[in-house]
Structure 1
Amino acid sequence: MKTLLLRLAGPLQSWGVQSRFTRRTTERAPSKSGVLGMIAAAQGRRRTDTLTDLLGLRFAVRIDQPGRLDRDYQTARIFEGPKGTAPSQRFYLADAVFVAGIQGDDEVISGIEDALRRPAFPLYLGRRSCPPAGPVVIGTRADGPYQALMVERYHASPFWARKQPPDVELDLLADGGVIPVPEVREAPVTQRDVPLSFSPSLRQHDWRSVERTTLQLTNPLGRVTVTAGPGPFTHDPMTAFEEGD
């Protein structure tokens, strides 16, 4: 089975899992529900179409650039009933970059790759107001998601990469069983983001187990720390006064 790697980057992203009513939160990394929804949109599926063939895909995501959490306070005018406004808070990740891996049967992965390269509907990163910056598809790999993300190059934006060390430690989150057992760093948690239906009249999501680990990657643009010390490049401004004596 092949793994399709995706670069999820944009000015804003929002991956809600527990959003309720007027408070729309975001996870700190892409949700499986959000990525499968993007794939379904690329394939031209309607919200009422079945997602059965996508539910067996194995999913992992690497956090190359965590971004920052931003809050948008909104008000909407209510025209029906008593006059007034309805406030809401919406949270976004700004300037974040993720690399996601989707694994499945070769034919299914090839179809997903073609759809993401030529999407039927516009792609967005969690919400319609969050389009991706640049192409989403990186390419396919013969290995599983963990192995593919372990060797895939660092995809952070240059401005961020230049502020990081030459070797970076990145968080990786994945479906239970994707990360080799000795490499799992924390106890698995459950997250309700497996989409059973996107129908507006009956949205349904199931639970999945999420495991976490860290990966070490080389950062070609990394900042090199220069320390002063003895040698030909040591500068002592007091030497000039000593020579004048």
Structure 2
Amino acid sequence: MPADPTPAPTPNQDEEQAVLVLRLAGPLQSWGDRSAFNRRDTRPQPTKSGVVGLLAAAAGRPREADIADLVALRLGVRVDQPGTLLRDYHTVSDYRGRPLPQAGVNAKGLQKPTSPAKDTHVTHRYYLQDAVFLAALQGPAGLVATLAEAVRRPAFPLALGRRSCVPTQPIALGAVRHAPLEDVLAGEPWQAGVATVNAYRRRAQRGPEPFSPHRIDLAATFDDPSGEDTLQDVPRSFAPRDRGFSTRRIRHTWLNVPTGLPPSVRTGQPATAAGGHDPFALLGW
């Protein structure tokens, strides 16, 4: 059974709080919180360990560095575009034609051969395609401002869960905010891609029911000591020989956020990509 949720350090109530908003978008993302044998899953939205790891990389912290201040930040995640699940099928073989070794080692520290001999190893890795999330972190204003600058000029390459998952720009959305975490995520405009926005527009144009295209309901998750759910994704350390995770309580909710579309779009033009060109227009997306 997972350990009881580890309470986050209580921030100084007299210390000014600020919120950093990150736009996590890219062709592929993978936010795993567990791996079993030859399978690496992804959760449907960013994990706290993944977001804290991104911030630690931006700040140039080595894996053995203390991350207690980053873990103590309160996290909120908004799902602007859930994306679709991709399974990446892998096979591994020795190019010399030799049987693959197993994980166990002999007295000399060398990997033992598989028995019976195994020539091919199959793995399955899962990713989210074309997903867009807003991750907001609330904490001491000085720390948040430092992290915001680090994300704009990262010391190490940033990734969306795995090194192969490169983010698109921008990651940091403007200046830090000085408002409650829930209010910040509720007030940020919808960050979905052009195709998703145009699909939402078409629904407003042909739907007979009352519909307000200038607002949309989006799922969100917040750190909450009294939350109804738990996740085991709070990192204790990123040190290779001392990795470990504890749990946190979370609260699921819905936020009604602005889309950037006018209240009525029945005669409006489709949204376009930056520069006025929509590469998917001819496909009807």
Q: TM-score range by the shorter chain?
A: 0.7 to 0.9
Letter in 2 for 1:27: R
CA deviation after TM superposition for structure 1 residue 124, in Å: 0.4
Paired positions, count: 218
Distance in 1 between residues matched to 2:119 and 2:160, nearest whole Å: 32
Letter in 2 for 1:172: A
The Cα RMSD (Å) is: 1.9
SS where residue 196 of structure 2 aligns?
helix
Aligned residue number for residue 174 of structure 1: 222
- Are 1:158 and 2:174 matched, yes or no? no
1:22 aligned residue (1, 20, 38):
38
Aligned residue number for residue 70 of structure 2: 54
Distance in 1 between residues matched to 2:35 and 2:222, nearest whole Å: 21
Alignment deviations for residues 165-199 of structure 1 (CA, whole Å, 9 cap, x no partner)? 5132100001015xxx9xxxxx6111001110112
SS where residue 141 of structure 1 aligns?
coil
Aligned residue number for residue 92 of structure 1: 127
CA deviation after TM superposition for structure 1 residue 220, in Å: 3.1
Alignment deviations for residues 62-106 of structure 1 (CA, whole Å, 9 cap, x no partner)? 000011011111112255424512211111000000011001101
Q: Structure 2: where are the runs of 5+ without partners?
A: 1-16, 95-99, 102-112, 205-212, 268-285
Letter in 1 for 2:253: T
Distance in 1 between residues matched to 2:43 and 2:228, nearest whole Å: 16
Q: Structure 1: where are the runs of 5+ without partners?
A: 182-186, 227-245
TM-score, length of structure 1 as denominator length = 0.84
Distance in 1 between residues matched to 2:121 and 2:235, nearest whole Å: 29
Distance in 2 between residues matched to 1:221 and 1:71, nearest whole Å: 34
Q: Does the 8 A contact of 1:162 with 1:221 survive in 2?
A: no
Aligned structure 1 segments of 4 or more residues deviating by more than 4 angstroms: 221-226
- Are 1:44 and 2:60 matched, yes or no? yes
- Are 1:142 and 2:182 matched, yes or no? no
SS where residue 238 of structure 2 aligns?
strand
Alignment deviations for residues 8-47 of structure 1 (CA, whole Å, 9 cap, x no partner)? 0000000001222311111111111100000001111121
Distance in 2 between residues matched to 1:144 and 1:75, nearest whole Å: 48
